[in-house]
Amino acid sequence: MHLLTYARDGSTRLGRRGADGIVDLTDALDVADVGALLARPDLVERVADATGEAVDRATVEVRAPITRPGKIICVGLNYHDHCREQSIEPPAYPMLFSKFANAVADPGAPVTRPVATEKLDLECELAVVVGRRASRIGREEAASVIFGYTVLNDVTMRDLQREDRQWLRAKGSDGFAPMGPAVATADEVPDPQALRLRSFVNGETWQDSSTAEMVFDVATIVAFASRTITLEPGDVIATGTPAGVGHYQAPPRYLADGDVMRCEIEGIGAIENPVVDQPGRTDDHAMAAGVASLGAGSR
């Protein structure tokens, strides 16, 4: 089952992907997105059998399936091939960081290249959607916590990532987590460690790898996060990105105004987002921006 959130006639609605389009579920279940559904365990049990109006997908705007997740937990350096391209050893334990709800962007929505960066990059990631509350669980319990999976693009400003020496601004800025197009329920993904994932820029392949390259598998990540962070229904865990990002190509390549990013994972779907410059941006302005624009002595 693939569940999605979409907009039609000014309202946000919950749908299930069908053979001929979308089956609207909002009238039957009285919830408007996947996140709201997951907050109601009684409704989750009914979603597979719920029926509703058939909707032509071409007539609606697909939105991020969870429009305001409570938490977006991310994992850094979690692919062996991504570590190899940097000539570094894999970490000894999952390296967690966070994005906020402001980072969520819909499939197809423009992603702004801020004045503060000259090194905007993409990262295609498998994202776990949490289905039930969990705290301090073991690895063997992780499967019972996972409702499903979606695609997430961990957009990153590489220059700020290096400048700040931590990742909050570089990865948590507005619109830096395009997500979707749907949540594939866990039964649709029998082995999350055997999925091909790829990213493209203007149709050219940048990343082409497999979740088999993960340093820490999905079950380990979910259990590890729950040791210190209570997971709630609708939380999202982005599990890291493989080799091929622009920053580690030879020579490095970065995203610019007009570029179109595409991230796809087999069995789940694909999202595309164009890059647009922040209004008023010029190359000279951008090069002088960032910390310098805050004034001397501000660091």
What are the pLDDT digits (tens) for 171-185? 999 999 999 999 999
Q: Which of these three, 42, 63, 84, is where a domain ends? A: 63
Claim to verify: residue 89 and residue 28 sit in the same structural domain: no
Domain final residue, candidates 45, 63, 81: 63
Q: Based on the fold, state whether residues 21 and 103 are members of the same structural domain.
A: no
**Residue 140 resides in a domain:** yes
> Do residue 153 and residue 244 come from a single domain?
yes
Are residue 131 and residue 192 in the same domain, yes or no?
yes
Residue 299 lies in a domain: no
Of 135, 132, 149, 137, the closest CA to residue 232 belongs to 132
- Residue from 71, 58, 56 nearest 21 by CA: 56
Q: Do residues 137 and 30 both lie within one domain?
A: no
Q: Which of 32-36, 146-150, 264-268, 291-295 has the lowest mean pLDDT?
A: 291-295
pLDDT at residue 66 tops 70: yes
d(CA 218, CA 96): 13
**Cis upstream peptide for 252 (omega within 30°):** no
Pairing of strands 146-153, 196-201: unpaired
Which positions ≥6 away from 132 have C-beta within 8 Å?
Answer: 41, 144, 145, 147, 233
Structure tokens at 93: 């334990």
pLDDT of residue 18: 87
Q: Which helix (H) or strand (E) holds 270?
A: strand 269-277
Q: Band of the pLDDT at 19, cuts 50, 70, 90? A: confident
- Helix H, strand E, coil C: the string for 75-109 is EECCEHHHHHHHCCCCCCCCEEEEECHHHEECCCC
Does residue 296 belong to any structural domain of this protein?
no
Is the domain of 20 the same as that of 167?
Answer: no
pLDDT-wise least confident of 11-15, 17-21, 92-96, 255-259: 17-21
Element (H, E) at 254: none
Instruction: Say whether both 258 and 113 belong to one domain.
Output: yes
Residues 187 and 80 in one domain: yes
The span from the CA of 246 to the CA of 122, in Å, is 7
Which domain does 159 fall in, by range?
72-288
151 and 45 share one domain = no
Flag whether 40 is in a domain. Answer: yes
Tell me: do 93 and 229 sit in the same domain. yes
- The predicted-structure confidence for 184-228, as pLDDT tens digits, reads as follows 999 999 999 999 999 999 999 999 999 999 999 999 999 999 999
> Domain for residue 162, yes or no?
yes
- The mean per-residue pLDDT over the stretch 137-161 comes to 97
Give the mean pLDDT of 88-92.
Answer: 97
- Are 78 and 123 found together in one domain? yes
Same domain, yes or no: 149 and 263? yes
Residue 197: inside a domain: yes
Residue 77 lies in a domain: yes
Instruction: Specify the CATH number for the domain of residue 240.
Output: 3.90.850.10
pTM of the model: 0.93
Which of 44, 63, 82 finishes a domain?
Answer: 63
Residue 97 lies in a domain: yes
Q: Match 């310098």 to its residue by tokens.
A: 292
Q: Alpha helices of the chain — where are they, by DSSP H?
A: 26-29, 34-38, 41-44, 80-86, 142-145, 158-164, 168-172, 218-226, 283-288
Task: Report the number of distinct structural domains present in the chain.
Answer: 2
Tokens of 98: 């966070």
d(CA 232, CA 102): 18
pLDDT of amino acid 283: 59
Determine the Cα–Cα distance for residues 136 and 131; give it in Å rounded to an integer.
15
Residue with tokens 């039957």: 28
| Preceding omega of 251 cis (within 30 degrees of 0) | yes
CB atoms within 10 A of CB 42: 7
Between the CA of residue 236 and those of 17, 28, 73, 252, what are the distances in Å?
A: 21, 25, 6, 30
